[in-house]
């Protein structure tokens, strides 16, 4: 079958999958039919209102060789209020750039992964030595909803994995790690009273403000990660009180800790609780582990080799870490395998008005994925290649 990765990216952009509400089912079915036509076995997992995860598998000839997983998401963030210079779902090209919502985050990556899957199927007659699984999720932009649903309700569809690539925007720079996230709800309590007699009450907002001041000056003593650096902390929302003339007896705020894979999340939570004291009640509402794959892992070495082959000796061959989390935080807890984040999108334009991706990066990504897939899965993969687990992730 004929497949043009740029035209396919355009096709994906033309599906409006802004999240909320998402409604990725039509886009998901489009990708599923493409993969089915190439010989992949495809499972469609529907959930919510018009939402779909796609799991496509190309079986390997060696039953003991665990597959390579390529993963991306189909949803995009909303458009925002600003006027776009190019219609966000028209997929127009100008000056070597492809414009549209999702052009970078991450329909270009999805198209390149599908293109690589089709090439692997053609190169191996539909039967590589090591299989390939392509996972396309819905709801990534709102807390990895699709990935979580897939792991909780459809884990049997995922099978096993020897290694995984997540195609988030990295401008084709290999990322061997990304930070995790702890989203925490903090609450303080007091005693209400008339505001003309504040000494008769206990002001919960004052308690919260003292806690927030501690967070502003919070110092992480943890060892820095080689590519992720140190953890970060931020207070994102504050609320409290019911009216101007009462001493507030309730206040709350949210805390966002971006973790660096150097210790367990419970340790971060325990340290924060000790700092803030008993006046602050903490409850975690999002817990996404950090991901870290060793720089000398065979899969990392292979990916860097593929980059050099396609791009030459450029700074894109220097591994980096990412400050945000991805679906890998969810899937790593199922697969426990090496994970790399590598995709053609421009990090500087994701989520922005006039989002774009350089056309040449999409073509390069398809080539990079194909080389990795052929050498890890196909005829040229070394027979001694074994499954390697991540060293210090999650």
Which string of DSSP letters, residue by residue, matches 21-87? T---HHHHHHHHHHHHHTT-EEEEEEETTTEEEEEEEE--S-TTSPPEEEEEE--B----SSPPSS-
Largest CA distance in the chain: 82
10 Å CB burial of residue 185 (0-12, 13-18, 19+) is: middle
What pTM was estimated for this model as a whole?
Answer: 0.91
The answer to whether the CB of 333 falls within 8 A of the CB of 151 is: yes
Task: Please report, for the domain that includes residue 78, its CATH number.
Answer: 3.40.630.10
44/76 same-domain check: yes
389 lies in some domain? no
The answer to whether the CB of 388 falls within 8 A of the CB of 297 is: yes
158/230 same-domain check: no
384 lies in some domain? no
Q: With both helix axes pointing from N to C terminus, report the angle between 265-276 and 204-216 in degrees, rounded to the nearest 10.
A: 120
The pLDDT of residue 316 = 66
Task: Please report, for the domain that includes residue 232, its CATH number.
Answer: 3.30.70.360
394 lies in some domain? no
392 lies in some domain? no
194/281 same-domain check: yes
Number of folded domains that form the chain: 2
Provide the domain limits for residue 366.
5-178+290-377
84/187 same-domain check: no
153/185 same-domain check: no
Tokens encoding 203: 């002001």
147/47 same-domain check: yes
328 DSSP 8-state letter = H
Classify 369 as helix, strand or coil.
helix
311 lies in some domain? yes
239/145 same-domain check: no
275 lies in some domain? yes
281/189 same-domain check: yes
119/219 same-domain check: no
pLDDT tens per residue across all 394 residues of the chain: 699 999 999 999 999 999 999 999 999 999 999 999 999 999 999 999 999 999 999 999 999 999 999 999 999 999 999 999 999 999 999 999 999 999 999 999 999 999 999 999 999 999 999 999 999 999 999 999 999 999 999 999 999 999 999 999 999 999 999 999 999 999 999 999 999 999 999 999 999 999 999 999 999 988 899 999 999 999 999 999 999 999 999 999 999 999 999 999 999 999 999 999 999 999 999 999 999 999 999 999 999 999 999 998 766 667 899 999 999 999 999 999 999 999 999 999 999 999 999 999 999 999 999 999 999 998 644 433 334 434 444 3
278/316 same-domain check: no
Interval 299-335: pLDDT, tens: 999 999 999 999 987 666 678 999 999 999 999 999 9
């Amino acid at each position: 079958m004929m497949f043009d990765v740029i035209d396919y990216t355009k096709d994906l952009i033309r599906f409006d999958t802004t999240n909320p509400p998402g409604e990725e089912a039509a886009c998901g079915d489009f990708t599923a039919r493409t993969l089915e036509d190439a010989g992949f076995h495809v499972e469609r997992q529907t959930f919510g209102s018009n939402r779909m995860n796609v799991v496509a598998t190309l079986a390997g000839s060696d039953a003991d060789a665990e597959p390579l997983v390529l993963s991306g998401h189909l949803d995009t963030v909303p458009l925002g209020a600003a006027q776009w210079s190019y219609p966000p779902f028209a997929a127009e090209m100008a000056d070597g750039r492809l414009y549209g919502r999702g052009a970078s985050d991450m329909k270009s990556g999805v198209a390149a992964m599908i293109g690589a899957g089709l090439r692997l199927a053609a190169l191996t007659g539909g039967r590589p030595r090591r299989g390939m699984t392509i996972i396309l999720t819905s709801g990534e932009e709102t807390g990895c909803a699709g990935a979580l649903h897939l792991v909780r309700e459809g884990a049997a569809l995922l099978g096993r994995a020897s290694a995984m690539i997540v195609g988030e925007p990295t401008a084709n720079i290999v990322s061997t790690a990304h930070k995790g996230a702890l989203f925490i709800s903090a609450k303080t309590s007091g005693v209400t009273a008339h505001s003309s007699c504040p000494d008769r009450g206990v002001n919960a907002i004052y308690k919260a403000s003292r806690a927030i001041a501690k967070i502003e000056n919070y110092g992480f003593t943890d060892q820095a990660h080689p590519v992720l650096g140190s953890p970060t902390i931020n207070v994102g929302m504050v609320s409290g009180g019911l009216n101007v003339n009462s001493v507030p007896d309730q206040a709350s705020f949210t805390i966002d800790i971006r973790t660096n894979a150097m210790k367990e999340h419970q340790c971060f939570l325990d340290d924060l609780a000790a700092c803030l004291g008993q006046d602050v009640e903490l409850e975690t509402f999002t817990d996404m582990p950090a991901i870290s794959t060793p720089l000398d892992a065979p899969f990392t070495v292979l990916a860097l080799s593929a980059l050099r082959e396609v791009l030459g000796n450029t700074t894109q061959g220097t591994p980096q870490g990412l400050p945000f989390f991805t679906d890998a935080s969810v899937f790593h807890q199922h697969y426990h395998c090496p994970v790399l984040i590598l995709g053609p999108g421009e990090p500087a334009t994701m989520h922005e008005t006039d989002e774009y991706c350089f056309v040449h990066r999409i073509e390069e990504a398809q080539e990079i994925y194909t080389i990795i897939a052929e050498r890890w899965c196909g005829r040229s993969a070394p027979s001694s290649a074994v499954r390697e687990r991540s060293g210090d992730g999650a």
